[in-house]
Amino acid sequence: MPSKKIVCLGGGSMYFGRVAIPRLVVAEGLAGSEIVLYDIDVERTELVARHGRRLAEEAGTGMKVRASSDLADAVDGADFAISSIGGVGRSPGRIYESPVYARDMLICAKYGIYQIIGDTCGPEAMMMAFRSIPVYMDICREMEKRCPDVVLLNHSNPMAVICRAMIKYTGIQRVVGLCHGVQSGITHIARVLGIPPDELDVVWIGTNHYHWFTRVCHRGKDLFPELKRRMAEYEHSKKEKMVAKLSEIYGYELAYADNHVIEFYPFLAQLPDGKSFPYNLGEEVRARHGTLYEDFELKAEPETSEAERREWLGRYEEELRKVTLPEEPSDPVAKYWFHAAENTGSLIEAIALGRREVYIVNIPNKGSVPNLPDYAVLEVEGVTDSCGVRPVYMGEAPLPLKGILEKRIAWQELVVDAGVKGDRKLALQALLLDEMAILPEKAEAMLGELLENSKEFLPQFFGKGR
């Protein structure tokens, strides 16, 4: 069996310690491979590597796990790369818990845009991209020299923007984004139909976090009419009220929760205040942020003390100690239904061994949806082989979905170009193209505040060393 070098970018994140490494070390097709963790937070990365070695020893597959603080060493000769990078420096926890993310949300609210998640659409997602893009560009430049044929699996948001930036502006072309929205959506409609999800043949159209099911069949029988009938009678949860209404209007089934989908529409920029959320989404805001926008205060976050960091690292290590080896299913059908975070090892193994298996991936369209741009990063079914992943034909986007998606793809392209070039005019164009657009004078003022808030992470806008 081939031994491979797998580099984990952002290797100090809990994603690698809790999910990716356990899945990799049990993959028998990768036995004897090397996993290298790279992160700017050296202490945290060493913790993950230590527990990775424990898991590798328990798995008995001869996997080697080490940490590296040198990017050139980490990527040199890599066959595969897995990225989970937030673009907020050494900030502990997830990006959604970082001070710069919270301040971005509040700046947007100040101008009348009340985002809920802000990792795919709107000004907050744009800023997430701007902070991450220079990090990915630096990594890809090193990869161009040291592992130009690497297969890079990205887990970071905004998914489509980050993947597109690497493909458009670097020589790293085998880029695959992994998420879990489609899997969750198919599982949900299978529950409504009372049929095991792996027995359904489903086709969908969409980009990351925004998919519409256009065909649902079971053993050759078209179940879409039956699905629509049952959905009309179904008692939807509080998180699906808007999705159910939109599905009724368009005639296709929307495959995501309200908290993500609403940010593809202008509704959040039309609220009279930060308390008047439709579709029970105020509860979601409270759950994510602890309070509604009206009660927030814009204030500087205190620096984390060394004692606080030591305490946080101690809790982090305690969580790592709880991680155990998973059971890896050998059935490709079971792998298909994994949460995207969990199928990374299976996907790498399939490519390494040249196995043809089907996964749900974010990759360039290349004719999969023929009436959308070829270059657009869409979420589609993809077939693996020894060269990577290639898309499966999904069919044409129906007219209303085509209109929505073309606008979203144009927004993504503007954000990519602005984020790579540090071009404020392109950034402003993206803000005005977005569904949550506000008056140009206000958008320009908001952009200035947002860029200033992330200044330390934006060398492309402010220059290195400033």
What pLDDT digit, counting tens, does each position of 134-189 carry? 999 999 999 999 999 999 999 999 999 999 999 999 999 999 999 989 998 999 99
What pLDDT digit, counting tens, does each position of 412-447 carry? 999 999 999 999 999 999 999 999 999 999 999 999
User: Average pLDDT for residues 65-79, to the nearest whole number?
Assistant: 98
Confidence of residue 342 (pLDDT cuts 50, 70, 90): low
The structure tokens listed for 107 are: 């700046």
The rounded mean pLDDT for the chain is 91
The structure tokens listed for 177 are: 């984004």
Position 330 scores a pLDDT of: 45
Distance CA 122, CA 432 (A): 10
Residue 38 neighbours by CB under 8 Å, 6+ apart: 7, 8, 9, 10, 11, 45, 67, 68, 69, 70, 71, 74, 75
CB 136 within 8 Å of CB 129: no
Residue 321's alpha-carbon distances to 35, 38, 49, in angstroms, are: 19, 20, 12
Pairing relationship of beta strands 5-9 and 64-68 according to DSSP bridges:
unpaired
Residue type, 220: G
> pTM for the full model?
0.94
Position 465 scores a pLDDT of: 45
What pLDDT digit, counting tens, does each position of 206-233 carry? 999 999 999 999 999 999 999 999 998 8
Structural domains of the chain sorted by starting position, each given as residue range(s) with its CATH number in brackets:
93-303+329-466 (3.90.1820.10)
Please give the torsion angle defined by the CA atoms of residues 293, 296, 301 and 302, in that order, rounded to the nearest 10 degrees: -150
Place of tokens 């950034």: 427
Q: CB-based burial of residue 159 (10 Å sphere; 0-12 exposed, 13-18 middle, 19+ buried)?
A: buried
The structure tokens listed for 165 are: 């930036």
Percent of the chain residues topping a pLDDT of 70? 93
